[in-house]
Amino acid sequence: MNRSFIFAKPALNASAFLFLCLCLLVSTSTLYAVEKERMNVLFIAVDDLRTEASVFGNKYIHSPNLERIAKMGITFNRAYCQQAVCSPSRSSLLTGTRPDTTKVWDLETHFRKALPDVITLPQLFKNNGYFVQGMGKLFHGSLDDPQSWSVPWTNPKKEIEVYALPASRPGANAKGVKANKKAKGAAFESADVPDNKFHDGALAEMAVKALQSSAAKKEPFWLGVGFIKPHLPFVAPKKYWDLYDPAKINLAANPFKPKGAPDYAFSSGGELHAYSGIPDGAIPDELARKLKHGYYASISYMDAQLGKVLDELDRLKLTDKTIIILWGDHGWKLGEHGAWCKHSNVENDTNAPLLIAAPGMKTAGKSTNSLVEFVDIYPTLAELCGLQLPKHLEGTSLVPVLKDPTVSVKSASFSQYPRGAKVMGYSMRTEQYRFTRWVNRDNPSKLEAVELYDHKNDPQENTNIANDPKNADLVAKLTEQWKKGWKGNGVVSSQVK
């Protein structure tokens, strides 16, 4: 297939002129419906993957298949989730709306409670003639959405998945997590077993079969594949552990809370402390290295399973007909700020992986520092496939960035995280700053605390400078920008500084 798609400009001949005339008579969605072939979509979700992989400059991570996608498309260095925990992030991305719209701030609430008629991203494709199939972790846990799929969602048998308890659940402590060591096994394991003995290996086999089935169908497909590693527990076959030398694994450079930050800005990593063998309080250095070793091994294990899916796409000669997107639902801390896991508004947690590859990209292999958000994924895929955008979306198409990685479509990205039932932290990431306002959830006009980090001089966010009198004017300026919200921070393809 000619990989021209949306990025190349073929010469205008008589046939093309006639086709353009027909385009004037039909809508965009109808236009794509009459084409001989429409783009497939391979939609890959990865659980708890932070931007620590070879595609983000960390060459000590063995992840050749992430590199493989990056070479076909664009790597987004500064993509941000809307809330750094599984269900709120996924609900936001898959509906194209933000947590205050979905009303999903925990791990138990289904977005259809607040948005009963919303059209999800996969549902949009299903409604437009795609065969839509989902497997693995796409929506959070058991919170499936049957109307999103052409066939029922499936999941392979797996080792026990565990998640942090939301602060709203009775019995949870003030930091949002209740340790229950009786319910969890070890936090890591190196097992000399085949790949398919664990969830992601079995999932890759399911995805391969789904591709084989889809290749025989006439309609285009949208296939969602949700890998769960490197989510805890860090369980992976031994050969992936053997890729790393434990002696070369470094500990976090900033194992302390930011100076001047409110105590509730962080959780201590109770999700990790819920496992056996994890002591209360600080994690000893030797154990920290072992945990990081397990995290890295889990990334490489997931990456190898991803490779099996990409190999089958190539074997079936579908790669040149398929848009590939890979995203991690949020970042993760590995001892930074004296904490582990996610559950905060810091850069480690809100910045997450995003790779997009579309056939015909002239910018393949590039990366971009443009600020983007996960709510932008929905309109981007819809535009790439010529589907009419629903009116409920709260993001911006990234097609301009795919065409030119040096442009930006927004001046800020927004994330949020609740602390219990009383406080919500709303965070804004600009070109240079992270600015977070903690407000009372019952009375949002009541300000509880402010955080400000200068990424030019303090990229690790170690010192909150919001309370320094010399920064009063800057705080006031950022407050005005923050008050404009996501609607007031859009730009039209400006250059990234």
Residues involved in catalysis: 86, 140
* C-alpha–C-alpha distance, residues 85 and 342, integer Å: 7
**Within 10 Å of residue 80's Cβ, how many Cβ atoms?**
27
In sequence order, what E strands does 37-143 have? 40-46, 74-76, 79-80, 131-136
User: Is the Cα dihedral 337, 57, 163, 334 positive or negative?
Assistant: negative
Pair 397, 379: CB distance under 8 Å: yes
Between 199-215 and 285-315, two packed helices, what is the crossing angle to 10 degrees? 20
Secondary structure of residue 28 in the 3-state scheme: helix
Pair 329, 81: CB distance under 8 Å: yes
* C-alpha–C-alpha distance, residues 304 and 474, integer Å: 46
Residue with tokens 């205008």: 12
The H or E element spanning position 309 is helix 285-315
Q: What angle do CA 351, 353, 355 make, to 5 degrees?
A: 140
Phi, psi of 255 (to 5 degrees): -80, 50
Pair 132, 222: CB distance under 8 Å: yes
The H or E element spanning position 298 is helix 285-315
Nearest to 288, CA basis, from 251, 342, 244: 251
| Half-sphere CA count of 7, side-chain side, radius 13 A | 18
* C-alpha–C-alpha distance, residues 458 and 471, integer Å: 15
Is 29 exposed, middle or buried (CB count within 10 Å of its CB: 0-12, 13-18, 19+)? middle
Residue with tokens 């010469």: 11
Q: Please give the DSSP secondary-structure letter assigned to residue 157.
A: -
Sequence-separated (6 or more) residues with CB below 8 Å from residue 321: 1, 37, 39, 40, 359
